[in-house]
Amino acid sequence: MSRQRVGVYPGTFDPITLGHMDIIRRGAKLVDKLVIGVTTNISKSPMFSDEERLEMVRRECADIDTEIVVTGFNSLLMDFAESQGASVIVRGLRAVADFEYEYQMAGMNQQINCRVETVFLMADVSLQPIASRLVKEIALYGGPIHKFVSPAVRTEVEARVAAIGLKGGN
Taking only the tens place, the pLDDT of each residue in 40-99 is 877 767 999 999 999 999 999 999 999 999 999 999 999 999 999 999 999 999 877 788
pLDDT tens digit sequence for 126-170: 888 899 999 999 999 999 999 999 999 999 999 999 998 765 544
Question: How far apart (Å, rounded) are the C-alpha atoms in residues 50 and 47?
Answer: 10
Environment class of residue 35 by beta-carbon count within 10 Å: exposed (0-12), middle (13-18) or buried (19+)?
buried
Give the class (CATH, top level) of 6-164: alpha beta
Q: What is the largest CA-CA distance in the chain?
A: 62
Does the active-site annotation cover 115? Answer: no
Question: How far apart (Å, rounded) are the C-alpha atoms in residues 168 and 162?
Answer: 10
Catalytic hit among 5, 26, 58, 94: 94
* Every domain of the chain and the residues it spans: 6-164
Does the active-site annotation cover 94? Answer: yes
